[in-house]
Structure formats: structure tokens, C-alpha cells
Amino acid sequence: MASSASGCRAIRAANVTGALSLAGTRRRARLRFTALTKIAALGYLILEEYCTPYFLSYSDFCYVYRRMTEYTHLIPPNDPQRLAALAAYRLLGTTPDAVFDELVRLVAQLFGVPIALISLVAKDTVEFAGNFGLPDVRVVDRPDSICSVAVLHETTTLFEDLHADPCQLTNQLAAQQLNMGFYAGHPLHTRTGYAIGSLCLIDHQARTLSALEQQRLATLADVVLDLFDLRLAVLEKPEVAQAMWEAIHRSIGTSLTRIDTLRSLGQWEESATTPAAQQYQRSIEEEAHLVIQALRAEVQTALRRVAAT
């Protein structure tokens, strides 16, 4: 048995060293830490001999190494500056805020999707500052989220049919586990131009997003950035901004009630093509425009009032 175990370790060492050498040859221009990773791999094999219960299994180690090298294309050149811009908002690792959760609930209703998220793309993970539709998920690995792709673009990232045409840049298994058929994410660009996350829509079915809907999503992404700024003011000047924050929370709740009512009335129709159903849909479209404009104006007014104090 000892001889067999030693043989397995030798094979493992050869496989790891060979794999790392091949990876280094292919990625030398991008990966400067190949030699260091080899040392870590060999060190792992030594530690495994004596401390197996306290360290990752060999398969887990290979998984970690693969994740380190497979998704480097998701890291933009300005990632250090982008991460600094994200950190300045003091959102990572915080308790979920009801305002953000209510906002994405409203967004989901406005677009008629089961899932809407405010994502924050951190160094290794993606956190959801606002979450409607995925109540048990607050953090995922960066390669597992299409939001990691959304921050690479200036405009909306759109996948209309992920079942037929999956995203090739992220872990497809993660999307399959969530039964994602549709994704639309608009990047959250700071005033300095860094994309720190996205406002995204997810559906289980394939669907399209019209030009008007894309414009609305972009406007709502601007609202999210304004809310990030206002939340900072709440932290720094609570005596001034807290009441405004609570007023915006109430306004979002009122808007939700109005949209919910219109959608509920429309569902009583036998078909979406009946005159009444089409009228309800037009009413929802008109209400969506009014809600977005009113919310944006209220948040911007609050920011100006805070700045004036």
C-alpha cells in the first residue's frame, strides 16, 4: 500500500508539473506566477504526505488552479482602479439594504422578469447588493456570474437565449443550475468611468429586450449609482440624509403597488391580445416611464439637498 501511495503521489507530481509547464508555455505572456504556482503545487504534495486532513484534496487544488488561470479574460486592465472605486462606496460585505431589495423588486415588475439584481463585481466574487428572485444567493464566484462580463462593456450586455447560445466567457454550469434563459445587464459606471457592477434582469425563458427597454434599464442603472451616492451620505451625514433615504423607500413601495395592481388586472384577461389586455399593457408602459422619471428626480433632489448642507 505504501509503495502504491508513493506511486500515486509521483504520478500526481508529474501530472501537476507537466500541466503547469504546459499552462506556463501557453500563458507566459499573461501569467507571471507560473513558477511560484509550481512551487506551491509541489509544496502541497509534501504537505499532503503528513497533513492530508487539514488541506485541500488534490482535485480541489487542481480546481483552484484551473479557476486562477481559466478566467483571466474577465479581468480588465484597470481592475485595481475599478476595485478601488467600488471600495469607496463601502458596500461590500454589508447587511442587505431594504431600499436596494425593493428597487430590484420594482425593476423585476417593470420588465416582467422573475429575477433582478444589483451586482457588485469584487476581486474574486460577485456580491448582490439588491436581490429579487434569488433569496438564498448573496455571493457567487466571479467566473460564475455573467455580471463579470457586463462590467467589461460600456453598454448593456444582452443574452436573449442562453439555452441555445450560452455565454462562453463564464462558467456555463452556473447558468444552467439557475435555468437562465435570458440575461440583460447594464454596467454601473461611476462618475470616474469605472464599471463596479451591473443592474441585471434574468428570466428562465428566452426573450428579447427592445431598444426602449434597454434605455429604461440604462436609466435605472443611473438611479442605482445615485442611490449609492445617497447611501454614502446616509453613512456620513445621517442627521441630514436618513429621512430622505426612508422617503425614497416609501416611494418605491408606492410605485410597486401601482405596477402590481396593473399587472394583476391584466392577468385576468383570457389572452394578451384582447383589447383590455393591450390597454393594461399600455398603461403599464406609461406607468413605468412615470415611475422611473419620478424616482430619478427624487433621488437627484435628495443628493442636491445633501450637497447643500
pLDDT digits (tens, 9 = 90+) for 86-144: 999 999 999 889 999 999 999 999 999 999 999 999 999 999 999 999 998 999 999 99
Alpha-carbon torsion angle 277, 280, 286, 292, nearest 10 = -110
- With cell 449609492, the residue in question is 228
Number of neighbours of residue 141 by Cβ within 10 angstroms: 15
Domain boundaries for CATH 3.30.450.40 within the chain: 83-308
pTM: 0.76
pLDDT the model gives residue 104? 97
In angstroms, how far apart are the furthest CA atoms of the chain?
A: 80
CATH class for the region spanning 83-308: alpha beta
Dihedral sign of CA atoms 238, 244, 246, 252 in order? negative
pLDDT in tens, 229-288: 999 999 999 998 999 999 999 999 999 998 888 777 766 666 667 777 777 778 878 888
The single-letter DSSP state of residue 169 is S
What lies within 8 Å, CB to CB, of 82 at 6+ separation is 76, 151, 194, 195, 196
pLDDT in tens, 168-208: 889 889 999 999 999 999 999 999 999 999 999 999 999 99
